[in-house]
Amino acid sequence: MPVRPIEGITRLLTQWSSGDQAALDELMPLVYDELRRVAIGHLRRERDNLTLHPTALVHEAYLRLTNQQSVNCQSRAQFFSLAATMMRNILVDHARQAKAAKRGGPQYTLSLSQADRLGSGPDVVLVALDDALRELSSIKPQHSKIVELRFFGGLTIEETAEALGVSHATVERGWTFARAWLRNALEASSK
């Protein structure tokens, strides 16, 4: 009987977590389309003049994943949590480099008004969002992680709960709090 894709992904994640780098090479074709979908979602919220493309974002995330010394991914949700962190860091690094390349250079905006994202509100500068998330992380680390998984990773409430090992209700409460907190923090930073 053939192995179902989800079982194959779980098996490969377990092998990769045990130190088998070849398992990551086998895993990528199975998750590539979904990673690319997440990357397209991120970049769709960016300005049109962004030079980073979905394929480049996925490939950069893959390169960073291969450089991980110790990985603990036992489920699809945990893997996409790690990938979300990688993509967030890549996007922020790219935005910071572009800004540093020319003083007052372009700042890439990220719409927080996408469906089931951070709710309605103005576009925000990606770097400002990252700074606000870092501040939130120092106060409420779990809430910051919820935003990262939902916004940058594209995970559902259920997948986020699984990745964090908490209840659905805990994620919903954290998501609601974090959206309001970030909205206030971003509004304050734009004044």
Domain boundaries, the chain: 5-189
pLDDT band at 5 (very low <50, low <70, confident <90, very high): low
pLDDT recorded at residue 141: 93
pLDDT recorded at residue 140: 95
Task: Show the tokens assigned to 60.
Answer: 């950069």
* Cα–Cα distance, 191 to 179 (Å, whole number): 19
Q: Which of 14-18, 27-31, 93-97, 127-131 has the lowest mean pLDDT?
A: 93-97
Over range 144-168, report the average pLDDT: 87
Contact of 88 with 148, CB cutoff 8 Å: yes
pLDDT recorded at residue 167: 96
Taking the model in full, what pTM does it have? 0.68
Over range 46-65, report the average pLDDT: 78
User: How many helices (H) and strands (E) are present in the chain, helices listed first?
Assistant: 8, 2
pLDDT recorded at residue 104: 54
Over range 54-66, report the average pLDDT: 87
Which one has a higher pLDDT value, 147 or 151?
Answer: 147
Among the listed residues 80, 82, 91, the one whose alpha carbon sits nearest the alpha carbon of residue 129: 91
* Cα–Cα distance, 78 to 94 (Å, whole number): 24
Task: Show the tokens assigned to 168.
Answer: 């659905």
Over range 136-158, report the average pLDDT: 88
Contact of 111 with 100, CB cutoff 8 Å: no
pLDDT at 180 over 90: yes
Q: Where in 9-133 does DSSP place strands (E)?
A: 109-111, 123-125
pLDDT recorded at residue 130: 86
pLDDT at 124 over 60: no
Q: What percent of the chain lies above the pLDDT cut of 70?
A: 77
pLDDT recorded at residue 107: 52
pLDDT band at 119 (very low <50, low <70, confident <90, very high): very low
pLDDT recorded at residue 128: 83
* Cα–Cα distance, 171 to 168 (Å, whole number): 5
pLDDT band at 99 (very low <50, low <70, confident <90, very high): low
